[in-house]
Chains A and B, each alone.
Chain A
């Protein structure tokens, strides 16, 4: 069974640029959630995707957007990057939207300069 994978591992961007982060869900899981983890903090929910549709969103501005593909992999896009967007971005998959357990990938460390 393949766990959650994310790419890239690290990324450095300049303020104002755009970035795309990728996530492959655990085998058999159709629901993907994205979280932002600032240094020294717990993860904060950005949004969830289920069957290619956004299925819940946290308190993040519209410049944070996402996609889910038919194979359940997902992308997180952030436009007009700000310095405060520097964080570890985590993807978590669950068996389906009715499941409790969420399993996290290793994350993508984004640095905005």
Chain B
């Protein structure tokens, strides 16, 4: 089955700097790669996703890149703000619908003001 590795486990950046979180996946059939942000005491919030037919997607300060050949994808946050502090999870799934999301172990991002 699918296995998703996520690095780093913790990341501290100064406010205004960029943050990059990387994930690798094992199943070449995976075609959907979402990123979730989880704040303390809350459920994961979908912040951006990418499908295997594109290499990059951007939404304001957040971007995701996908390298299907190398089986890795990354989350890039620019101009970080204290409210970006949270745990971020990457996930992968093959096909849609009833194929479950397989999550990485998460990255705790701290943005220092």
**B43 and A100 within 8 A (CB):** no
For residue A101, CB closer than 8 A to chain B, the reply is yes
**A31 and B97 within 8 A (CB):** yes
Within 39-81 of B, Cβ neighbours of A (below 8 Å) are at 41-46, 49, 51
**A102 and B89 within 8 A (CB):** no
List B contacts of A41 (CB < 8 A).
105-106
**A55 and B34 within 8 A (CB):** no
How many A residues face the partner with a CB closer than 8 A? 31
**Nearest CB in chain A: distance from B6 CB, A:** 8
List B contacts of A56 (CB < 8 A).
98-100
List B contacts of A42 (CB < 8 A).
4, 6, 89, 91, 103-106
List A contacts of B6 (CB < 8 A).
42
Report the Cα distance A40→B44, complex, angstroms: 13
Interface residues of B (CB under 8 A from A): 4, 6, 32, 34, 36, 41-46, 49, 51, 89, 91, 93, 96-106
Interchain Cβ contacts under 8 Å between A and B, 9 examples:
A42-B104, A56-B98, A94-B97, A98-B97, A99-B97, A100-B49, A100-B96, A100-B97, A106-B42
Interface residues of A (CB under 8 A from B): 4, 6, 31, 33, 35, 40-45, 48, 50, 55-56, 58, 90, 92, 94, 96-107
